[in-house]
Structure 1
Amino acid sequence: MSKPASSYLAIPPGDHCLSGNIHTGETRGKIETIEEAPTYITSPHPGKGNGNILFYYPDVHGFYNNAMLLMDAFADAGYTVFGIDYFRDDPVWKHRKDKDDTTTDPDFDHAAWRTKHSTFAKATVPKWTKAIAETYGTSTTKYCCVGYCFGAPYSMDSLTASSFISAGAFAHPGSLTDEQFQNLGKPLLLSCAENDHAFPVEKRIRAQKILQEGGKKYQFQLFQGVSHGFAVRCDLEDPYERFVKEQSYRGIVEWFNFWLAQ
């Protein structure tokens, strides 16, 4: 049985995750299967790599243009990026009423869909990251991870359970618990929207209190006037929304650059 929304610090994904804009552009990565999960792999331009690996945990839309362009952007910052499709070609957008609608089909069981894919993700992400480190890493490689919406808990869990991932981040999170903040083992950047009913102000304050009392290493980004999904699905024609999305990305890159240099 699913937990009630009130038991979460950041509530599970819902119809609010269907809103937003689709971005255009050419992606350059390739998709391979690693530990039964389709994996988007994108690399820095020749001579621009820093030798480190970034694990990307996507939102409920899985592998769509926005996510792949964002992964390419992290590769532009020097990281070899591995993104996991824990939905295995069953992203939530395939269950919309129609392609232009931002609500799900009335016959779609969102809770069952979420349980199915979160169960697979929870079991697969640890062995997926380990397999990538063993196959693609070297003795000098360092690792970081970032999760968006549905991907946030896997970023948190990776920072707690993995001995080799040095730092993490998430943006507009879903499905986070008190325990995940209490058990946090590595530096975390939280990129947050002012208007996010999935992670509202009282829950952000509670999360910060847990981090403070636990002596955790963390940084908050809080952006005024934007809502859930701002870091991936913003309106790029709106100058402020574009600025905020880019600031979220830059902040995450700088966070990783610092901690992986320690």
Structure 2
Amino acid sequence: MVDDEVATRAPESDAFAQKPAGEAAQSVFPGDTIAQEGPTMGEHCTTDRPTPSGQIPTGEISKLGGVDVYITKPADYPHSPSKLLLLLTGGTGLKSTNNQLQADKYASEGFLVVMPDQFDGDPAPNSVDMSEVENSPSWLEWAKLKAAEGAKSFLIDMWLARHTPEKVLPILQKVVEGAKEEFADAVANGGGIYGVGYCFGAKYILTLAGEHPEYVSSGQAAPTDEEQGATKNAPLIRAGAVAHGTMVTKEDLEAVKAPVYIACVENDPLFPEEEVLTPGRRALEKNGVEHEIQTFSGVPHGFAVLGDYDEPKIKQAQTQAFGQMLDWIQSH
């Protein structure tokens, strides 16, 4: 879906969390480097769009490995075989109705979906109601928005500092181990676990699709130097599909070993092409990793997360991205 004439930021555009002018951007992920100064997470990573009218989640919140998870199953499970899908969300997290509905959509296509609370009860701050701002054109309201953006930027930076790989990966490992035990039939039927990730969650699907360092349950990273006994784990998922990742580095893509589909937004400062996507694509090709990368134009970062939009082009892109992500995991 390429349209060079349409700017990437649509009418429902992102209000990016910006770093103060002149301040060097630093990743909150140890060992990672931010490709450029600028936004760390976008509004669509941390704020839900309106929920589609009349839709109600059909799954339930339970626990796996001691972690809260939203579980949704195909209507005919366990009488018909299913495959296990791990769904990782953006900053809105486990209790977002839109995220639960998105999990239900994959369940309706035959996947037993496990969506963990990767933030341990601490979803991203949600301090700006974009619907109110978009309906108020006055310069005073615009000034209020700018002030709110600055406050939210600080809150998001603090939030990101609380949710690093050392904290998130042990949570995901507990869920994976719990799912292998609780839903062994679905794991066996699919020959492993599949994964889809959006925004924040996309980074972790890519991590689970790659060779990654060992993280112990205490939240401390294992040695990174091979001479000190560091080891790299094989991928924890069979195949993955991600959309508009945030905080992704070229090193994440260089480590990927499992087949991956990546949906990107054209000219996305949260997933910059020159610093991250292009070298990552080259690494996937060099390493012989099966992959597909689709770039969408004329849509905001976060467009693929389920939610209602007034703009037909965004609705179309959302449907297209879901179909492509679904096709990828169904065919691997």
**How has the CA–CA distance of structure 1 residues 49 and 9 changed in structure 2, closer, same or farther, with 3 Å as cutoff?**
farther
Matching residue of 2:18:
none
Q: How does 1:1-262 map to 2 (within 5 A)?
A: 3=27, 7-8=33-34, 12-15=40-43, 17-18=45-46, 21-24=49-52, 25-46=55-76, 50-63=81-94, 64-94=96-126, 96-97=127-128, 100=132, 103=148, 106=151, 108-118=154-164, 119-138=166-185, 139-142=188-191, 143-160=193-210, 161=233, 165-202=237-274, 203-232=276-305, 235-259=308-332
Q: State the aligned residue count.
A: 258
- Return the alpha-carbon distance in structure 2 between the equivalents of residues 198 and 177 of structure 1: 10
Superposed displacement of residue 233, structure 1: 5.3
Give CA deviations for 1:138-197 in whole Å, capped at 9, x if unaligned.
243432001111101210121124555210011000122222211111000001111421
**How has the CA–CA distance of structure 1 residues 50 and 240 changed in structure 2, closer, same or farther, with 3 Å as cutoff?**
farther
Letter in 2 for 1:205: T
Matching residue of 2:218:
none
Larger radius of gyration: 2
- Return the alpha-carbon distance in structure 2 between the equivalents of residues 253 and 196 of structure 1: 23
**How has the CA–CA distance of structure 1 residues 230 and 129 changed in structure 2, closer, same or farther, with 3 Å as cutoff?**
same
- Return the alpha-carbon distance in structure 2 between the equivalents of residues 2 and 250 of structure 1: 35
Higher strand share: 1
Query: Which one is further off, 123-132 or 64-73?
Result: 123-132
Superposed CA RMSD in Å reads 2.8
Percent identity, please: 26
The answer for unaligned runs of 5 or more in structure 2 is 1-24, 134-144, 211-232
- Return the alpha-carbon distance in structure 1 between the equivalents of residues 173 and 202 of structure 2: 14
- Return the alpha-carbon distance in structure 1 between the equivalents of residues 46 and 27 of structure 2: 22
Counterpart secondary structure, 1:56:
strand
- Return the alpha-carbon distance in structure 1 between the equivalents of residues 201 and 298 of structure 2: 23
Counterpart secondary structure, 2:76:
coil
What is the TM-score normalised by the length of structure 1? 0.86
**How has the CA–CA distance of structure 1 residues 205 and 81 changed in structure 2, closer, same or farther, with 3 Å as cutoff?**
same
- Return the alpha-carbon distance in structure 2 between the equivalents of residues 28 and 233 of structure 1: 15
Higher helix share: 1
**How has the CA–CA distance of structure 1 residues 233 and 173 changed in structure 2, closer, same or farther, with 3 Å as cutoff?**
same
Letter in 2 for 1:28: T
- Does the 8 Å contact 1:195/1:226 carry over to 2? no
- Does the 8 Å contact 2:265/2:301 carry over to 1? yes
- Return the alpha-carbon distance in structure 1 between the equivalents of residues 327 and 317 of structure 2: 15
- Does the 8 Å contact 1:2/1:111 carry over to 2? no
Counterpart secondary structure, 1:81:
strand
What is the TM-score normalised by the length of structure 2? 0.69
Letter in 2 for 1:112: M
Letter in 2 for 1:140: N
- Does the 8 Å contact 2:46/2:90 carry over to 1? no
Query: Which one is further off, 234-243 or 49-58?
Result: 234-243
**How has the CA–CA distance of structure 1 residues 163 and 181 changed in structure 2, closer, same or farther, with 3 Å as cutoff?**
closer
**How has the CA–CA distance of structure 1 residues 49 and 227 changed in structure 2, closer, same or farther, with 3 Å as cutoff?**
farther
Counterpart secondary structure, 2:258:
coil
Superposed displacement of residue 12, structure 1: 4.1
